[in-house]
Homo-oligomer: A and B are copies of this chain.
Amino acid sequence: MEKGCPFGTHRVIEPVGMLPQAAKKIDNTMQIRSNELLIDVQTLNIDSASFTQIKKACEKDISKMEKMILDIVNERGKMQNPVTGSGGMLIGTIKEIGPDFPDKSLKIGDKIATLVSLSLTPLKIEKIKKVNINNDQVDIDGQAILFESGLYAVLPNDIPEKLALAALDVAGAPAQVAKLVKPGNTVCIIGGGGKSGVLCSYEAMKQAGKDGKVIVVEYSEENAKRIKDMNLAHHVIVADATKPVEVYEKVKEVTDGEFCDITINNVNIESTEMSSILITKDEGIVYFFSMATSFTKAALGAEGVGKDITMMVGNGYTKGHADLTLQIIRESEDIRNLFEKLYV
């Protein structure tokens, strides 16, 4: 059994020299190298941006959506939406473990969630069993490969699988909040009422502590109410994050003109960089988790208003992110109930 590159370059068909994510087409032969893992796939959790695009292109016709997903995977060897570039993640059962795969504690039959994007994961779909149009999940018969550098989490017994899948999709965000927020900080979560936002708000409340202040900016009254009901922020502001001046004035008011040490951006739409920048204190931090972030808008925007702040690209991975996120689900009955209603 031959050993592959830890990053999976041995499976790149074109263009050669790229990594699997940047590749147009990768080899999805389901025969493992000595440092790979073979997975029997149960459910795909398609990335929200990708799923929305597919839904729209197919006018919500399920059979058209099935065909579109199959076509993408047959064409590219992976479930990477050619328009959005994004993937998603999957859950499944381990079928075969290469002798050189680093984690020796894994066993055949273990249920895992992959924590690397589907946009770089070799995938073969035999059959689509169900497309759930409401929560971005697709049940399939099929197989996938995980590279040596690939991340995954063994699914816990005490949390429903689909709930775990939904939460793990955004695990990077609350874990970064845990690293960034210090006791006494003023923290703003933009888009705090969404999936990643709720987890971030919970973690921010915990880390900022009794001398801290957590502010959520949300668009819809409904999601804002959720946050209030669950007590996940000290202040909930209903505002449109694409209107920087409006958000600036409202945050100014609730912080007595002090603004925020740390701003976390969890929205799912474009043009919210400027709001994030304006409400952050000089020498503060903006953490952009949103994939709709524009690099140039952020870079030029901060310079444009003379703000000396650190702006971070939301790396989906940080050490211990899966454990921390599942722990939130265990600690907060409110969040667990909400996610069960939405995703299971």
Q: How far is the CB of A4 from chain B (nearest CB, A)?
A: 13
Q: Which of A36-44, A195-203, A300-308, A324-332 contacts B (4 or more CB under 8 A)?
A: A300-308
Tell me which residues across on chain B come within 8 A of A301, comparing CB atoms: 19, 21
Q: Is the CB of A128 closer than 8 A to any CB of chain B?
A: no
A317 and B311: CB pair below 8 A? no
Chain A interface size, as a band, is 35 or more
B288 and A302: CB pair below 8 A? no
Within 8 A of B (CB), among A286-344: 288, 291, 293-319
Give A117 to B9 CA distance when docked, in angstroms.
40
Please judge, given known A-B contacts A19-B274, A21-B300, A304-B119, whether A9 and B309 are in contact too, CB under 8 Å: no
Q: Which of A90-98, A214-222, A238-246 contacts B (4 or more CB under 8 A)?
A: A238-246
A317 and B312: CB pair below 8 A? no
Within 8 A of B (CB), among A127-181: 149-151, 172
Residue on B nearest A47 in the bound complex, by CB: B300
Tell me which residues across on chain B come within 8 A of A306, comparing CB atoms: 116, 149-151, 317
The residue in A243, A299, A316 that gathers the most chain B C-beta atoms within 10 A of its C-beta is A299
Give A313 to B294 CA distance when docked, in angstroms.
10
A313 and B312: CB pair below 8 A? yes
Q: Is the CB of A17 closer than 8 A to any CB of chain B?
A: yes
Q: Which of B9, B149, B288 contacts A245 (CB 8 A)?
A: B9
Contact mask for chain A residues 239-273; partner B; CB cutoff 8 A; 1 contact, 0 none: 00001111000000000000000000000000100
Tell me which residues across on chain B come within 8 A of A303, comparing CB atoms: 115-117, 151, 172, 315-317
Q: Is the CB of A72 closer than 8 A to any CB of chain B?
A: no
A317 and B308: CB pair below 8 A? yes
Give A151 to B306 CA distance when docked, in angstroms.
6
Give A52 to B306 CA distance when docked, in angstroms.
26
Residue on B nearest A313 in the bound complex, by CB: B311
Q: Is the CB of A18 closer than 8 A to any CB of chain B?
A: yes
Q: Is the CB of A120 closer than 8 A to any CB of chain B?
A: yes
Give A107 to B42 CA distance when docked, in angstroms.
71
Tell me which residues across on chain B come within 8 A of A244, comparing CB atoms: 17-19
Q: Is the CB of A22 closer than 8 A to any CB of chain B?
A: yes
Q: Is the CB of A35 closer than 8 A to any CB of chain B?
A: no
Tell me which residues across on chain B come within 8 A of A5, comparing CB atoms: 245
Q: Which of B21, B172, B299 contacts A313 (CB 8 A)?
A: B299
Please judge, given known A-B contacts A116-B303, A304-B120, A308-B315, whether A86 and B19 are in contact too, CB under 8 Å: no
Give A301 to B245 CA distance when docked, in angstroms.
33
Tell me which residues across on chain B come within 8 A of A302, comparing CB atoms: 313, 315-317
Residue on B nearest A119 in the bound complex, by CB: B300
Within 8 A of B (CB), among A70-93: 85-87
Chain A to chain B contacts (Cβ below 8 Å), 20 pairs: A5-B245, A9-B245, A17-B246, A21-B274, A21-B300, A21-B301, A86-B296, A87-B300, A115-B303, A116-B303, A116-B306, A149-B305, A298-B313, A299-B313, A302-B315, A302-B317, A307-B315, A307-B317, A309-B315, A312-B312
| 9 closest residue pairs by CB, A with B | A303-B316, A311-B313, A303-B317, A302-B315, A295-B295, A151-B306, A293-B295, A298-B313, A17-B243
